[in-house]
Amino acid sequence: MPQRINTAVAPADATVPTVASQWRDSVQPVESFRCLNPRCEAPDLIQKEKSKGRPQLFCSSKCRRAYDYERSQLLLDQEVLAAALARPGGSFRQRQAVQSALATVRRCLSHYAYATNRASKG
Ligand SMILES: [Zn+2]
């Protein structure tokens, strides 16, 4: 029964000859993924292209830009909301409203966990 490499070889026994021979018979990780943009509507999985070195994380440059933009906006929103809460003042209700807003922004940010290198393409 094929198994993952981590089951086939324990870290303590991992040598290049052992892992190289076991890797061929191991269950390979599936290398097709959804676009990383959480709002992407493209139905297709992104397949690994053998010619490319770096993984393609987005289905299109449009999705990459949308992801980068939304992530940067959420980070800036978070900064403003956290800065306000770090200062004293405001009524209980006002502080509650800002805390709730910060929680919303952080919930959204959890879908943008990956920090893209904005200089790169793909
Ligand atoms: Zn996409």
The whole model's pTM is what? 0.79
Q: How close is the Cα of 107 to the center of ligand 1, in Å?
A: 20
Of residues 118 and 86, the one with the higher pLDDT is 86
Q: What are the strands, taking DSSP E only, across the chain? A: 32-33, 46-47
Q: How close is the Cα of 59 to the center of ligand 1, in Å?
A: 4
Whether the predicted pLDDT of 121 surpasses 70: no
Whether the predicted pLDDT of 52 surpasses 70: no
- Tell me what the pLDDT averaged over the chain comes to: 91
Nearest Cα to Cα of residue 115 among 82, 72, 77, 80: 72
Q: What is the pLDDT of residue 80?
A: 98
Whether residue 54 contacts residue 122, with contact meaning beta carbons closer than 8 Å, is answered with: yes
Domain range summary for the chain, segments of one domain joined by +: 57-122
Q: How close is the Cα of 97 to the center of ligand 1, in Å?
A: 33
Nearest Cα to Cα of residue 118 among 53, 65, 77: 65
Q: How close is the Cα of 19 to the center of ligand 1, in Å?
A: 35
Q: What is the pLDDT of residue 50?
A: 65
Q: What is the pLDDT of residue 117?
A: 66
Residue range 25-39: average pLDDT? 93
